[in-house]
C-alpha cells in the first residue's frame, strides 16, 4: 500500500476563514474526500487536531496499523493534518489514531466530518460519496412560499426507529420509509414531517440526541443516498422536512468528539461550562472560532446537501444559561455578573443569520422552555433570530387542565386562557411532542379523565382546540390515532388499534383538522399576530366554555370557534358575533365519523341581539366535550 502523499485542498483564504470561525462549508474541506491527484485515484483526508504530535489514518486497508499512513501537519498554525492516500476509495473503513502533545495521551477517533459511519455498536467512519440526482426542483423553487410564517405548519414528529417495524422487530429502511411514511403523511394531510435526530448516534435509548457522527445519517436505516431519496420523495409529494439538530451537547464515547486530540478541543475546558450534569455529556465551547465553524458548517450541510427545509434546534435553554441544571457554586457568572451564556447567545445569532442569508425559504425552530426574551425576533432587533419557538408553557398548562375531571375544570379555566396573554410575544409552535408520552406521563389518550367515550372525546377536543389556537402545530406519531401505551423506542407503534372505531375516528379527525387548518386562511395567515385572534368570551367558567374568533387577511372570512370542556351538552347557548347574516358549521369534533355522538348545528340565523359586547348574537349547540367551528 502506498504511503501518504502530501496534498491539500485548502487555500490560504480557507484557512483564514477557518481560524476566524467564518468558514461555513468545512464539509467540503475537512473529512475524507475521494478524488484524483495527478491521474491517481485515492482519498484525501483532513482533520483538525492542534494538540496532536502525530495523526495516522488507520483502517481495514492497513489492518488498523498506525505505522504506515501518517498525515502531514500544515505549516500555518491551523492545527489541520492532511494527506492523500492513493488507491483508497468509497467504502473504506477508517479512523484517526492521534498521539497527543498532552502527556503522551493516545486517542482513536472517528472522523468528525465523516459522511457515513458503521452501524453501531461498530464505530468506524466510512469513505463516502453520494451521486443522488434530485427531482424536487418544483418544491425547492416554491418552498419560500410554502414555508413562510403566514402559511400552515402541521407537523408530524417521527422517530424512524419506532414508527413502524417489520418481520422480527427489524427497522424499516430509508427506501421503505420513502414509500410507506411519505404515503401516510400525505394521506393524513400533514404539511411537514419532523425527524427526531437521524445523525449517527451510538446508543439507542438516547433516541438520537447523543450524536457522534454529526455529518453522517445513521446507518441503522440505510445509506446517505437512501436518506436523500426519502427527503426527495417527501418534497415530490409537497411535504416539508424538518430535522432535529443537537448543537447543545455530545456524548463522551471514546470514538466521539470528546477530548479529541488529547485536549478539550470541541468541549469547553471548564467543567462548569463544558459538562452537562443531567445528560452526562459534554458541552461545545461556543467561544472557540473553529467550533462555531464546525457547528454552523454542520447546519449548512443538512440544508445544502440534503435539501432540508427547517432545523428544530434541541435544548436551546440549556445553551442560553450558565446555571442551567446547576446548583449554587457549580457555575460561574458572565462578565456582567449574570447567568446568560454570552458565547452561546452570540453563536445562535450568527447561526440563524448565516442560515437565513444562505437558504431561501428555510425555517429555524427553537426548543426553548424558558421566558428568554425575543427568541423569534430578528438579530438586528436584538433577538436570537429564530423563525419559531416551541410553546412549552401552553403545552404544559393545557395538558394539566385536560387531565382534570370535568367537574373541577371551572376552577381552572385560567390554565387555558392564560396562553392568550403571551401568545404573540413570539412566533409559537404548539407541540405535543415525544417528551409528553414517556417516563410514566402516559399516552395523550390515557391522560384524559372519564370513561372510554369521554377519554376519546377529550382527545378530539384537545386536538380541535390546538388547531384553532394561534400558532403552528406539531403532533408526535401515535397521538394521531390515540395510541394507548406510552411511546416505546424499541418497537413499532400499535397500528392494530386502527381496527377499532374510536381510534380510526381520532385518525380521521386529525386528517380533517389538517385539512381545515390549510383550507381556512383565518387559521394561519395571522397565526403569530394579535390581529388574528379575538376573544368572544373567555369568562364562562361556570359552563367551562370558551368562544373566540380567528382572522386572516380578508375580514369577511373570519371563523368562530366554540369549545365545551364538560360532558354536558350546551344547547341554545347564546354567543355574540361580529356580523349579521347566518352561521354555517364547518367542523365538529363530535361528528359520528370521529366516534362522537353526532350533535350538530344546522345553518343558524344571526339575530341583532347584542351579547358578549358584540352587536349580534346567535344560539348554538356545543356538543359534550366538543369543539365546533363556524364560518
Calpha distance 522→384 (Å, rounded): 28
Domain of 561 in residue numbering reads as 531-630
User: In a 3-state reduction of DSSP, which class is residue 479?
Assistant: helix
Cell of 182: 411519505
Q: 612: closest CA among 575, 587, 583, 570?
A: 575
State how far the alpha carbon of 463 is from the alpha carbons of 26, 201, 224, 508, 595, in Å: 43, 33, 35, 12, 14
- CB atoms < 10 A from the CB of 554, how many? 10
Calpha distance 227→514 (Å, rounded): 26
Query: What pLDDT, on a 0 to 100 scale, did the predictor assign at position 1?
Result: 46
Residue at 94 is within a domain: yes
Instruction: Inform me whether the pLDDT recorded for 313 exceeds 70.
Output: yes
pLDDT bin (cut points 50, 70, 90) of residue 2 is low
State how far the alpha carbon of 518 is from the alpha carbons of 84, 324, 421, 617, in Å: 53, 38, 25, 27
Calpha distance 49→102 (Å, rounded): 12
Active site residue 367: yes
Cell of 505: 375516528
Instruction: Give the domain-ending residue among 106, 126, 146.
Output: 126
Residue at 538 is within a domain: yes
Query: What pLDDT, on a 0 to 100 scale, did the predictor assign at position 103?
Result: 86
Is the full-model pTM beyond 0.95? yes
537 Cβ contact partners less than 8 Å away, ≥ 6 residues apart: 545, 546, 547, 575, 576, 612
Catalytic residue among 14, 136, 267, 367: 367
Structurally, the chain folds into a number of domains equal to 2
Mean pLDDT for the stretch of residues 292-316: 98
Query: What pLDDT, on a 0 to 100 scale, did the predictor assign at position 396?
Result: 96
CA atoms within 13 A on the CB side of 574: 11
Work out the burial of residue 63: count CB atoms within 10 Å of its CB; fewer than 13 is exposed, 13-18 middle, 19 or more buried.
exposed
Query: pLDDT, tens digit, for every residue of 71-82?
Result: 999 999 999 999
Q: Which CATH number characterizes residue 556's domain?
A: 2.60.40.1180
Instruction: Give the domain-ending residue among 69, 93, 126.
Output: 126
Query: pLDDT, tens digit, for every residue of 160-186?
Result: 999 999 999 999 999 999 999 999 999
Mean pLDDT for the stretch of residues 409-435: 96
Query: What pLDDT, on a 0 to 100 scale, did the predictor assign at position 104?
Result: 86
Q: Which CATH number characterizes residue 121's domain?
A: 2.60.40.10
pLDDT bin (cut points 50, 70, 90) of residue 354 is very high
Instruction: Inform me whether the pLDDT recorded for 616 exceeds 70.
Output: yes
Query: pLDDT, tens digit, for every residue of 86-129?
Result: 999 999 999 999 999 988 899 999 999 999 999 999 999 999 99
Instruction: Inform me whether the pLDDT recorded for 387 exceeds 60.
Output: yes
Cell of 193: 414531517
Active site residue 314: yes
Mean pLDDT for the stretch of residues 547-565: 96
517 sits in which H/E element: helix 501-519
Instruction: Give the domain-ending residue among 71, 102, 126.
Output: 126
Share of the chain above pLDDT 90, in %: 98
Residue at 572 is within a domain: yes
pLDDT bin (cut points 50, 70, 90) of residue 450 is very high
Instruction: Inform me whether the pLDDT recorded for 251 exceeds 50.
Output: yes
Residue at 48 is within a domain: yes
Contact (CB, 8 A) for 399 and 434: no
Query: pLDDT, tens digit, for every residue of 483-505?
Result: 999 999 999 999 999 999 999 99
Residue at 615 is within a domain: yes
Query: pLDDT, tens digit, for every residue of 504-517?
Result: 999 999 999 999 99
Residue at 362 is within a domain: no
Catalytic residue among 314, 343, 397, 480: 314
Q: Are strands 616-622 and 170-171 parallel, antiparallel or unpaired?
A: unpaired
Residue at 183 is within a domain: no
Residue at 117 is within a domain: yes
Instruction: Inform me whether the pLDDT recorded for 68 exceeds 70.
Output: yes
Amino acid at each position: 500500500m502506498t504511503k501518504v502523499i502530501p496534498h491539500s485542498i485548502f487555500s490560504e483564504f480557507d484557512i483564514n476563514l477557518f481560524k476566524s470561525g467564518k468558514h461555513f462549508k468545512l464539509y467540503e474541506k475537512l473529512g475524507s474526500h475521494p478524488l484524483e491527484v495527478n491521474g491517481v485515484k485515492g482519498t484525501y483526508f483532513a482533520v483538525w487536531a492542534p494538540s496532536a504530535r502525530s495523526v495516522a489514518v488507520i483502517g481495514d486497508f492497513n489492518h488498523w496499523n498506525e505505522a504506515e499512513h501518517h498525515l502531514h501537519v500544515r505549516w500555518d498554525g491551523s492545527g489541520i493534518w492532511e494527506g492523500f492516500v492513493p488507491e483508497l476509495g468509497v467504502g473504506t473503513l477508517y479512523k484517526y489514531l492521534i498521539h497527543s502533545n498532552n502527556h503522551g495521551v493516545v486517542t482513536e477517533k472517528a472522523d468528525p466530518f465523516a459522511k457515513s459511519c458503521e452501524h453501531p455498536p461498530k464505530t468506524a467512519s466510512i469513505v463516502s460519496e453520494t451521486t443522488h440526482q434530485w427531482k424536487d426542483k418544483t418544491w425547492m423553487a416554491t418552498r419560500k412560499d410554502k414555508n413562510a410564517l403566514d402559511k400552515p405548519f402541521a407537523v408530524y414528529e417521527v422517530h424512524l426507529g419506532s414508527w413502524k417495524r417489520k418481520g422480527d422487530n427489524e427497522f424499516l429502511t430509508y427506501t421503505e420509509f420513502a414509500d410507506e411514511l411519505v404515503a401516510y403523511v400525505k394521506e393524513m394531510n400533514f404539511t411537514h414531517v419532523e425527524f427526531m435526530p437521524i445523525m449517527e448516534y451510538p446508543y439507542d435509548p438516547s433516541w438520537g440526541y447523543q450524536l457522534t457522527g454529526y455529518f453522517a445519517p445513521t446507518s441503522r436505516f440505510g445509506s446517505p443516498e437512501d436518506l436523500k431519496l426519502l427527503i426527495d420523495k417527501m418534497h415530490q409529494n409537497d411535504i416539508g422536512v424538518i430535522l432535529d439538530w443537537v448543537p447543545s451537547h455530545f456524548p463522551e464515547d471514546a470514538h466521539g468528539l470528546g477530548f479529541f486530540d488529547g485536549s478539550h478541543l470541541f468541549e469547553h475546558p471548564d467543567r462548569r461550562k463544558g459538562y452537562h450534569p443531567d445528560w452526562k455529556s459534554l458541552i461545545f465551547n461556543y467561544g472557540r472560532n473553529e467550533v462555531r465553524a464546525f457547528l454552523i458548517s454542520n447546519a449548512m450541510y443538512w440544508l445544502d446537501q440534503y435539501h432540508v427545509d427547517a432545523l428544530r434546534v434541541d435544548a436551546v435553554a440549556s445553551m442560553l444559561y450558565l446555571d442551567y441544571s446547576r446548583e449554587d457554586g457549580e457555575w460561574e457568572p458572565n462578565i456582567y455578573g449574570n447567568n446568560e451564556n454570552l458565547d452561546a447567545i452570540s453563536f445562535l445569532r450568527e447561526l440563524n443569520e448565516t442560515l437565513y442569508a444562505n437558504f431561501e425559504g428555510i425555517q429555524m425552530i427553537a426548543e426553548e422552555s424558558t421566558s428568554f426574551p425575543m427568541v423569534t425576533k430578528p438579530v438586528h432587533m436584538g433577538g436570537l433570530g429564530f423563525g419559531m419557538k416551541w410553546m412549552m408553557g401552553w403545552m404544559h398548562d393545557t395538558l394539566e387542565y385536560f387531565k382534570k375531571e370535568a367537574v373541577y375544570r371551572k376552577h381552572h379555566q385560567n390554565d387555558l386562557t392564560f396562553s392568550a396573554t403571551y401568545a404573540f410575544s413570539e412566533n409559537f409552535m404548539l407541540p405535543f411532542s415525544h417528551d409528553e408520552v414517556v417516563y410514566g406521563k402516559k399516552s395523550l389518550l390515557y391522560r384524559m379523565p372519564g370513561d372510554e367515550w369521554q377519554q376519546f372525546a377529550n382527545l378530539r377536543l384537545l386536538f380541535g382546540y390546538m388547531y384553532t389556537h394561534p400558532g403552528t402545530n406539531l403532533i408526535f406519531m401515535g397521538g394521531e390515532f390515540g395510541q394507548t401505551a406510552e411511546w416505546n423506542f424499541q418497537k413499532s407503534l400499535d397500528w392494530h388499534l386502527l381496527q377499532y372505531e374510536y381510534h380510526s375516528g381520532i385518525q380521521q379527525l386529525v386528517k380533517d383538522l389538517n385539512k381545515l387548518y390549510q383550507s381556512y386562511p383565518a387559521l394561519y395567515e395571522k397565526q403569530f399576530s394579535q390581529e388574528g385572534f379575538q376573544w368572544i368570551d373567555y369568562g364562562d367558567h361556570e359552563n367551562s366554555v370558551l368562544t373566540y374568533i380567528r382572522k386572516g387577511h380578508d375580514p369577511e372570512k373570519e371563523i368562530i370557534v366554540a369549545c365545551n370542556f364538560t360532558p354536558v351538552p350546551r344547547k341554545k347557548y347564546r354567543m355574540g358575533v361580529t356580523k349579521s347574516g347566518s352561521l354555517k358549521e364547518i367542523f365538529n369534533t363530535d361528528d359520528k365519523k370521529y366516534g362522537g355522538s353526532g350533535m350538530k348545528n344546522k345553518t343558524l340565523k344571526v339575530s341583532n341581539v347584542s351579547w358578549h359586547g358584540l352587536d349580534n348574537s346567535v344560539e348554538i349547540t356545543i356538543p359534550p366535550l366538543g369543539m365546533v367551528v363556524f364560518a
